[in-house]
Amino acid sequence: MTKKQPQRQAFNILIVGQSGRLQYEALLFAASLRHCSPNFDGELFVAIPQAGPKWSNDPSIKNGAVLAALERLGARILPFESKVFGQTYPQGNKIEALFALPPDKPFVFFDTDTLITGDVMSVPFDFERPGASLRCEGTWPEPTLYGPQYGEIWKSLYDKFGLDFESSLDTSQPDNHWQRYLYFNAGFFFGANPHEFGQRFLDYAIAIRDLPPPELICQSVDPWLDQVALPLVVHSYGGGREALPPGFLDGSVSCHYRVFPLLYAREDDHVLDVLHTVAAPNWIKKVLKGYEPIKRMVYQGRGEKVRALFDRSALPKREQMIRNRIKSAGFWMR
């Protein structure tokens, strides 16, 4: 029998914007959402951390042109207070911003360095079974020669939070291969209730940071704390690798490009078409030119020079190799 698809639920989208690079990425994200998914019936929230004791400088967006352009694109600005992380761990913004969302609708979080490239309404979300991005490399943990290995490290975390470890494993992968263990990139994740999900995410992250199990003694969780806690949170709600069919997010509907040189180096032509189309209107162009990498890469043609360095049918297997080639050619910008 064909598996019954969940009834589509209305949902909100959350990104985090702040002064500097992220405000320009947020503008591109909003423009790509409106262009590629004009029938999206939820709200796009741009959460902005506010000045406070967790920041040495004001992280909020003060650029009036950026704020006006976001408003023109229908984005809703959502100020929030950094109570736990702030400047020492800005990746924690994606956790603390969840508490500012309305609790009555499911949510999808995206990193701002993402373009929407298709119809988000077509994604078959089952918000009762959360998921996150599988477009990642084995960045954590880094087992030592004589120390605990992957299985021991991950099991210690599942045990810490009373979670079933065995059911999280991909047994098609060999022991001590990182893909055997549930691991996500936090470039997107989704869930049913942002406040409940956010509280569990926050609780797990704090506990891992402040009271790690002994098996983590040689492991750094900075900057990977969010990606260490996220699979545990997802698994605790019954989600996992199969929460979404492949091919939608990180596929035909979204592209987590990370930085503009990497976008030009490795993404397909459709992603470039979306980027150039949504960046073309003069009222958006005037704002985006305030960010040097967009000005150089998108508007002055440096991105095409990066693209010419690579054969996209035979890209280097590791991202660091792509980065090194771009840097050697003098085209790296962020």
Q: Which residues contact 149 (CB under 8 A, 6 or more apart)?
A: 143, 176
pLDDT tens by residue, 290-332: 999 999 999 999 999 999 999 999 999 899 999 999 999 999 9
SS3 state of residue 156 = helix
Please say if the pLDDT value at position 98 is more than 50: yes
Please say if the pLDDT value at position 222 is more than 60: yes
**pLDDT the model gives residue 271:** 98
Q: Which residue has the higher pLDDT, 8 or 159?
A: 159
Q: pTM of the entire structure?
A: 0.96
Please say if the pLDDT value at position 1 is more than 70: no
> CA quadruple 293, 62, 116, 270: dihedral positive or negative?
negative
Please say if the pLDDT value at position 57 is more than 90: yes
**pLDDT the model gives residue 229:** 98
**pLDDT the model gives residue 4:** 53
Q: What letters, b where the CB count within 10 A reaches 16 and e where it falls short, cover 173-184? A: eeeeebbbbbbb
36 in Cβ contact with 116 (< 8 Å): yes
Q: Which residues contact 80 (CB under 8 A, 6 or more apart)?
A: 47, 48, 49, 50, 96, 97, 99, 100
Averaged pLDDT, 153-176: 97
- The percent of the chain in helix, strand and coil, each rounded to the nearest 5, is 45, 10, 45
185 in Cβ contact with 136 (< 8 Å): yes
Distance, in Å, from the CA atom of 26 to the CA atom of 201, rounded to the nearest integer, reads 23
Distance, in Å, from the CA atom of 40 to the CA atom of 13, rounded to the nearest integer, reads 10
Rounded to 5°, angle at Cα 299 from 295 and 303: 90
SS3 state of residue 179 = helix
Averaged pLDDT, 109-126: 98
**pLDDT the model gives residue 321:** 96
- Give the number of C-alpha atoms closer than 13 A to the C-alpha of residue 145, restricted to the C-beta side: 0
Percent of the chain with pLDDT over 70: 98
Name the token pair of 273: 């078409």
- 2-16, 31-45, 122-136, 262-276: which range is least confident on average? 2-16
Averaged pLDDT, 92-100: 98
Averaged pLDDT, 168-197: 97
Give the DSSP letter of residue 3: P
Name the token pair of 113: 């360095």
Parallel, antiparallel or unpaired: strands 185-191 and 107-110: antiparallel
pLDDT tens by residue, 185-218: 999 999 999 999 999 999 999 999 999 999 999 9
Please say if the pLDDT value at position 97 is more than 50: yes
Q: DSSP per residue over 24-52, as a string?
A: HHHHHHHHHHHHH-TT--S-EEEEEEPPS
**pLDDT the model gives residue 92:** 98
Distance, in Å, from the CA atom of 120 to the CA atom of 125, rounded to the nearest integer, reads 10
Please say if the pLDDT value at position 256 is more than 80: yes
Position 2 confidence tier, pLDDT thresholds 50, 70, 90: very low
